[in-house]
Amino acid sequence: MDEQVMVFAPAPLLTVTIEQQADAVELHLHPGGQGVWQTRMIAALGTPVTLCVAVGGEVGDALRKLLVDEDVTVRVVNRQSGTGWYVHDRRDGSRAEIAEDPGAPMVRHDIDELYTVTLTEGLRAPVSVLSGPADPDVVDSDIYRRLAADLSANGGTVVADLSGPHLAAVLEGGVAVLKVSHEELMDDGYADDDSVESLLDAGRRLQRKGAKSVLISRAGEPALALLDDGTALQVHAPPLELADHRGAGDSMTAGVAAVLARGGDLREAIRIGAAAGALNVTRHGLGTGRAEAVRELAGRVRLTSLQDASGGSDDG
């Protein structure tokens, strides 16, 4: 297998943003959704990536053409139902949602075709990323369980960034690295609050359910990492001015997957992931950045043991 990543993004979105540039109003159309943003960052880090998606309807036709412009390999399945979309207004510097539609639920035939294509590409790649849809009702969660189980059983490393029923499904299948936010842990009932102790307890519960290692993002606070050898770490990213917080977690997942695909260890993967997430918040484009900047920032990421979480030496 080559050093590459397969990203499963079953329900990408057509994103429409309205922006103000000096005296001109601009309209921007891009492919979007969690898996697309992760794919974009993996490619930016120099790792070959294959994106597996399903699109349909008039919106899907437009999205298919835009995906061709991404610097990645795209495997597209035609779905019977329509692709989702959103329209955001960013003319005043903030992001206002005008309208959105996550897309109609995918039917069984679409799921079967997408599963076959995704499994094929996943078997060709050492690392597979399983990303979620904008709305959990769009994609049956069982496809995540099957993909996680089948790819893991055939020697693949599965990285998942999921919540809700899709998270429960991928745990049942088994996953090498699970990335989840602290808000998702609380929303899904794994954590009672956002304290470090509660989040670590939630992470250990996820490990018992099927995740070998767990990475918990915490917005502006240091991330938490529970490794498969029982080590618990805090991840201190370098401080940077915030431009747009959206996409930081997706870039973190992408960085982890990119490093694992080229044979790096999990600590290096966490550093690169934290650096990619930190860089992403300085930009308005989700899943964007430069590899040289990520590498420079990664040297400033500190990993500290929870026994030395107040700022001790790097645990290596």
- For 189, left (φ over 0), alpha (ψ -120 to 50), or beta? left
Query: What pLDDT does 256 receive?
Result: 97
Contact partners, residue 250, CB within 8 Å, separation at least 6: 34, 37, 38, 41, 131, 161, 280, 286, 287
Domains of the chain by residue range:
5-308
State how far the Cα of 215 lies from the Cα of 81, in Å rounded to an integer.
Answer: 34
Amino acid at 31: P
CATH code of domain 5-308: 3.40.1190.20
pTM of the model: 0.91
Specify the DSSP element, H or E, that contains 175.
strand 175-181
Question: In a structure prediction context, what are the per-residue pLDDT tens digits for the chain, which is 316 residues long?
Answer: 578 999 999 999 999 999 998 889 999 999 999 999 999 999 999 999 999 999 999 999 999 999 988 889 999 999 999 999 999 999 987 889 999 999 999 999 999 999 999 999 999 999 999 999 999 999 999 999 999 999 999 999 999 999 999 999 999 999 999 999 999 999 999 999 999 999 999 999 999 999 999 999 998 789 999 999 999 999 998 886 655 555 578 999 999 999 999 999 999 999 999 999 888 666 555 445 577 888 889 889 999 998 644 444 455 4
What's the pLDDT tens digit per position in 23-47? 899 999 999 999 999 999 999 999 9
* Tens digits of residue pLDDT in 228-274: 999 999 999 888 665 555 557 899 999 999 999 999 999 999 999 99
